[in-house]
Amino acid sequence: MIAATIARRCLSAIPTLLISSILVFVIIQLPPGDIVTSRIQQMQEAGAQVDPQRIEALRHQFHLDDPLPIRYLRWVGGMLTGNLGSSLQHDRPVTAIIGSAILPTVAISLAAVVISLGLAIPLGVWAALRRGTIVDHALGLFAYAGLALPSFLIALVANYALFTWFGMSPGGLFSPEYREAPWSLGRVWDLLLHLLVPVLILGLAGVAGTMRVMRANLLDELRKPYVTTARAKGVHPVVLVWRYPVRIAITPIIATVGWLLPYLVSGSVIIAVVLSLPTVGPILLEALRAQDMELAGAIVMLLSVLTVVGSLVSDILLILIDPRVARGQTSAR
């Protein structure tokens, strides 16, 4: 039953990805002009002469003169074979540009997700079990402050504080003396220190909302009759809370885990710009500004794939945590 449900979810992802590819292709074609017209405008503003034959050659080279259906099929075919085309803006293959940024992006995003869930779930349980106490109020104040303060502002403050008090610039992945240095323990330590700031900022930004959701879900579960019955039978409080109420209260959070990764990848653009991080977000922003649709389309499609894969992971985790999901039953008791 569980294996069949997982297989059905995986098969349902195929049409979702197909529709996503069509939407992404249409969206990247909507802005007026293209990368060639943007380049021509820059050349004209600089006072350079534009050769019409050169323009036609560029449009033919990047297949911009082909019909849209042909361009879509060629684009999807390139996606499937790993040939994402070339970026006219950078004059490099798209795979090379994204490949250089994907590792720090995934590392920062996954670490932020782990920190976010690893802190939010136990803090939410603690707040629910201490409802109405000073602990609950303090955690609630922390949650509201986390929701109110924008992440990029925290990044700016952290950048200023670290530079002023410790003489450390958290921008980039390495300090100036380690950027071109060979790998060593010092370079690894410097990398970890520079990753710590964006990971904590992104992770703590997700703690506030998730913690409040966990608290509300657990309080709702603790009011149900099966908890009262188990308490009356003398079940140990720790076993009583963690065996059923927490497992059921956590399911809505697990259902949203799949949306966290693409959100962190795309939503950390401003933080990446503030901290000068070589991640995918600033590359996407730069590609959209330059109308480099080959590069922008590949990144947006990557985010779509991350969303679909994340949703699959969430579904599988839900089935493993609560097998009744595979049988189509609710979690109500």
Q: Is 119 exposed, middle or buried (0-12, 13-18, 19+ CB in 10 A)?
A: middle
Containing 87, the helix (H) or strand (E) segment is strand 86-87
pLDDT digits (tens, 9 = 90+) for 132-176: 899 989 988 888 887 788 877 888 888 888 778 877 776 777 777
Is residue 98 domain-resident?
yes
Host domain of residue 167:
94-325
Higher pLDDT, 320 or 301: 301
For residues 124 and 250, give the distance between their C-alpha atoms in angstroms, rounded to a whole number: 10
Helices assigned H by DSSP within the chain: 2-29, 35-45, 52-61, 68-81, 94-129, 134-148, 151-166, 185-222, 225-232, 237-243, 245-249, 251-267, 269-274, 280-289, 293-321
- Within-domain flag for 200: yes
Asked whether residue 219 is assigned to any structural domain, the reply reads yes
The CATH number of the domain where 182 resides is what?
1.10.3720.10
Q: How far apart are CA 253 and CA 271, in angstroms?
A: 25
Mean pLDDT of 47-56: 75
Write out the two tokens for 298.
Answer: 């590949």
State the Cα–Cα distance between residues 114 and 195, nearest whole angstrom: 14
Residue by residue, DSSP assigns 215-253 as HHHHHHHHTSHHHHHHHHTT--HHHHHHHTHHHHHTHHH
Q: How confident is the model at residue 328 (pLDDT cuts 50, 70, 90)?
A: low
Each residue of 171-201: pLDDT tens digit? Answer: 777 777 777 788 888 888 888 888 888 888 8
Residue 187 confidence (pLDDT): 82
Distance between terminal CA atoms of the chain?
Answer: 22
- With bands split at pLDDT 50, 70 and 90, how would you rate the model's confidence at 123? very high
Residue 164: exposed, middle, or buried by beta-carbon count in 10 A (0-12, 13-18, 19+)? exposed
Task: Name the CA dihedral angle for 313, 221, 148, 202, rounded to a multiple of 10 degrees.
Answer: -30
C-beta atoms surrounding 325 within 10 Å: 19
Residue 49 within any structural domain of the chain: no
Cα–Cα distance, 141 to 5 (Å, whole number): 41
Q: How many CA atoms lie within 13 A of 288 on its CB side?
A: 12
215 inside domain = yes
- Report the domain count for the chain: 1
CA 187 remoteness from chain centre: 27
Task: Report residue 297 as tokens.
Answer: 């389309």
Residue 262 confidence (pLDDT) above 80: no
64 domain-assigned: no
Q: Kindly state whether residue 192 falls inside one of the protein's structural domains.
A: yes
Q: Which of 259, 273, 272, 269 is nearest to 307 (CA)?
A: 259
C-alpha dihedral (254, 79, 14, 264), degrees to nearest 10: 10
The dihedrals phi and psi of 35, each to the nearest 5 degrees, come to -65, -30
- Residues 209 and 320: their CA atoms lie apart, in Å, by 24
Q: Which is higher by pLDDT, 125 or 36?
A: 125
Cα separation, 81 vs 79, in Å, equals: 6
Residue at 230 is within a domain:
yes
